[in-house]
Each structure stands twice: as structure tokens, then as C-alpha cells.
Amino acid sequence: MSKKLGAIHKQLKKLFGLSEGLGALREYQKVEVELTPEESARNCSKLRKVHRGTKRLSLVQDDPASLYMKNRVLGCDLTKLSKYVRFHPSLEYWEVGEDDKYHMTGRHPAMVLQVVDGKGDPVTLHRTYLTKDGRKALVEEPKMQMSGKRKLKGAGVRLFEHPTRRVGRDSCKICQKST
């Protein structure tokens, strides 16, 4: 192991309190927690508020979200985007302050993607905060997902509706080449 990797290994051992090296990290298990009805209702209220301020992306061609998609996928036909790809002209951006509380630090245009389950029922929203010229906003986390109304198991974003298959966010370039 090189000196640099050895130093990183030591830092990780110290950071995570590992006595057996990095192998102990593999034993970490994500705890799945169901939402209470109150949490689900609170999340749904926040999701509805954001969704009400959005417009369908393919109906506006010069907004920041359309420019972002055009820059990310050259030749992308915005008229073929699904109804789940939306634009918000001025979405609140919140960050955790030094007091460990959320504070609104500004408003930005945003591409809002509706995350849906296999039946097409909405589960949550994914936001990409943008500049007016269609680039990622200069904020700490330009891409964020909202807390959903339930767990995300089996959910995804449908960017395009394809006659023979559904295409998700990570397959955007494949879909563009096949059409």
C-alpha cells in the first residue's frame, strides 16, 4: 500500500473507530424505518406546496430547467419529456445552520422531478437548483430529494415515456440516442 493510501486508511480507521480496518465498514446495515402517519401527512403537505408552484417543463422552452436539460443531453427533444419533469421559477433553498436548524438562504429556479412508484403514483420530489442560465446553482447541495410520503422502494423518475420501456434519470443519454 502506498504511503498516501496508508495515511488515508489510518484516518478512516480513526474516524470510524475501526480496529479491523476497512472491512468493518461492510458490516454497516442501513436501518429502514416506516414513516408514522403524522410524518407522512407533514411530508405530503410540503410536497404539494412545492408541486403547486411548478410548470410542466416541455411547455416552456427557455426556462432554466429546459436550458439545463439541453446542456446535459445534446439534441434532447424537450417535447418528449414526461409529465413528471417540471420547472419551479423560484424555489426556496434551505440549509442547516450552525445552530442545527434549517434556515432559508435564498430562492432559485429549479428542475423538479416527480419520483413515482411502478403504478405512476407520486412518492416524493427531487430538486435540482439552477442559475437563470441553466447551470447548477452555486449552493452547498444543488441536488436534493425531499422527504417522501413513504419509503422509496420501487420508485424512480420517468424522464421520458418510451413506447416499449420506461426510461429513468440515469438512462437519459441512452434514450436520446435511441430516438
Please, how many CA atoms are within 13 Å of residue 114, restricted to the half-sphere of its CB?
25
pLDDT in tens, 12-40: 555 544 444 444 444 444 445 678 889 88
Grid coordinates in use for 81? 419529456
Provide the domain count of the chain.
Answer: 1
Task: Identify whether 62 is part of a domain.
Answer: yes
CA dihedral 21, 22, 24, 27 (to 10 degrees): -170
User: For residue 179, is pLDDT > 50?
Assistant: no
Q: What predicted TM-score, i.e. pTM, was given to this entire model?
A: 0.69
Task: Identify whether 132 is part of a domain.
Answer: yes
CA gap 175, 179 in Å, rounded: 6
Task: Identify whether 146 is part of a domain.
Answer: yes
Task: Identify whether 49 is part of a domain.
Answer: no
**Which structural domain, as residue segments, surrounds residue 137?**
55-178
Task: Identify whether 29 is part of a domain.
Answer: no
Task: Identify whether 63 is part of a domain.
Answer: yes
pLDDT in tens, 108-155: 999 999 888 877 888 889 999 999 999 999 999 999 888 887 776 767
Task: Identify whether 50 is part of a domain.
Answer: no
Task: Identify whether 2 is part of a domain.
Answer: no
Question: Poorest-confidence range of 1-15, 65-79, 139-153?
Answer: 1-15
